[in-house]
């Protein structure tokens, strides 16, 4: 077996677990485990957004390359296990500044920015979708300081069937 490249995630153990049966519990378990790994990779390779903007802060290129590698590896491993009816879902998130409607729109734009960046790096457009979550799922509450607000301006990637 070839060794994983730098920044690649080893999903091999998940493939073995899913190979015994893709339906029902095995599929649900594989989905949960892969989503946990994608969430961890997303947080490890998190890029920040400028306040009230879908513009990425400087210094994100290497992080996006690492994240792309993790998605490519996840896709390969899942397909080897016979799991092919999935998409990657990028959810954009905002801090609590501004109205709920504005934040929902802004978070959608942020998710779309990440999708564009991942597609530019090799993820097929038909295998990834974006959704705006607004400030509905904060990492930090209350976000009453600039540092806390910055943590809530993020994206997450999950596997969807």
Ordered structural domains, the chain, with CATH: 12-160 (3.30.1330.60)
State pLDDT tens for residues 16-62.
554 544 456 777 777 788 899 999 999 999 988 777 889 988 889 99
83-98 in b/e form (b: 16+ CB < 10 A) is beebebbbbbbbbbee
What is the Rg, in whole angstroms, of the alpha carbon atoms belonging to the chain?
16
Task: Convert the pLDDT of each residue in 101-128 to its tens digit.
Answer: 999 999 999 999 999 999 999 999 999 9
Residues 95 and 151: their CA atoms lie apart, in Å, by: 8
Whether the pTM exceeds 0.85: the reply is: no
Residue 157: phi and psi, rounded to 5, are: -125, 130
């Amino acid at each position: 077996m070839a060794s994983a490249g730098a920044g690649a995630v080893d999903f091999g153990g998940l493939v073995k677990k899913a190979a015994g049966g893709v339906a029902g519990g095995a599929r649900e378990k594989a989905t949960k485990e892969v989503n946990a790994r994608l969430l961890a990779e997303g947080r490890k390779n998190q890029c920040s957004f400028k306040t009230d903007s879908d513009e990425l802060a400087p210094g994100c290129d290497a992080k996006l390359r690492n994240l792309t590698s993790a998605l490519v590896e996840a896709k390969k491993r899942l397909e080897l296990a016979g799991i092919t009816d999935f998409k990657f879902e990028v959810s954009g998130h905002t801090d609590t500044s501004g109205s709920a409607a504005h934040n929902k729109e802004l978070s959608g734009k942020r998710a779309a920015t990440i999708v564009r960046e991942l597609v530019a790096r090799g993820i097929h457009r038909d295998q990834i979708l974006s959704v705006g979550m607004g400030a509905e799922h904060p990492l930090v509450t209350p976000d009453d300081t600039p540092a806390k607000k910055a943590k809530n301006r993020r994206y997450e990637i999950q596997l969807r069937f």
